[in-house]
Amino acid sequence: MGAVSFPMPPSPRDESQAEKRWLQALARGDERALAAIYEIYGEKIYRYAYRMLGNRSDAEDATAETFLRVLRKAGELRADGAFKTWLFRITRNLCIDKMRQHRLLELPGDAHYNGTEERAALKVTVHQALDELPIEYREPLILCDLEDVSAKEAAATLEISVPALKSRLYRGRRALRERLGGSMEKLS
């Protein structure tokens, strides 16, 4: 009697096991491994980069470069649970470099928001307010509130302690609330 397989959504445990196996395969030079690691983390990394940079083109570039760094470091990577944090940290550094270039060149971000015109305008208001926050407040908000990264992982990505992360997160929320001011009612 044969067997048929149905794809199931991966649980975090599955993801961690798959990550471990593919990292080992990457170190052995398995060509499928990078694509497989990209399948696990590509979307998360792209979304994080987009939130940081505010435009599609730079986010795609930062995502591609992040995974190329994975390839270059293949022999050194350890499947010990810290890989995701390492990946986010690489992306963060690439984004910060790009943000510095943007400041020099004054490149505008683009807005890819769905929904009605009014809703899109309100979202732009939120994103503009977020963009105006100091980076030490913006980063915890992007990681914890927008991308749902755990406090522990976010703290490791930013290379700060969990209490320091939470302090920045709380201050960031308050600062965002101040900046949104009168727009708050329309956003409810």
If we measure between CA atoms, which residue out of 101, 150, 109 comes closest to residue 127?
109
- Going from the C-alpha of 57 to that of each of 69, 83, 89, 164, the distances in angstroms are 19, 25, 20, 32
64 binds other proteins (CB under 8 A): yes
**Residue closer to other proteins, measured from CB, 158 or 172:** 172
* Cα–Cα dist 10/5, whole Å: 14
173 binds other proteins (CB under 8 A): yes
Q: Which of 133, 141, 154, 156 binds other proteins (CB under 8 A)?
A: 141
Burial readout 1-19 (b: 16 or more C-beta within 10 A, e: otherwise)? eeeeeeeeeeeeeeebeeb
Question: CB 144 → other proteins: shortest distance, Å?
Answer: 8
In the complex, the residues that contact other proteins under the rule CB under 8 A are 1-10, 14, 17-18, 21-22, 30-36, 38-39, 42-43, 46-47, 50-51, 56, 59-61, 63-65, 67-68, 71, 112, 114, 123, 126, 141, 145-148, 169-170, 173-174, 176-177, 180, 184, 187-188
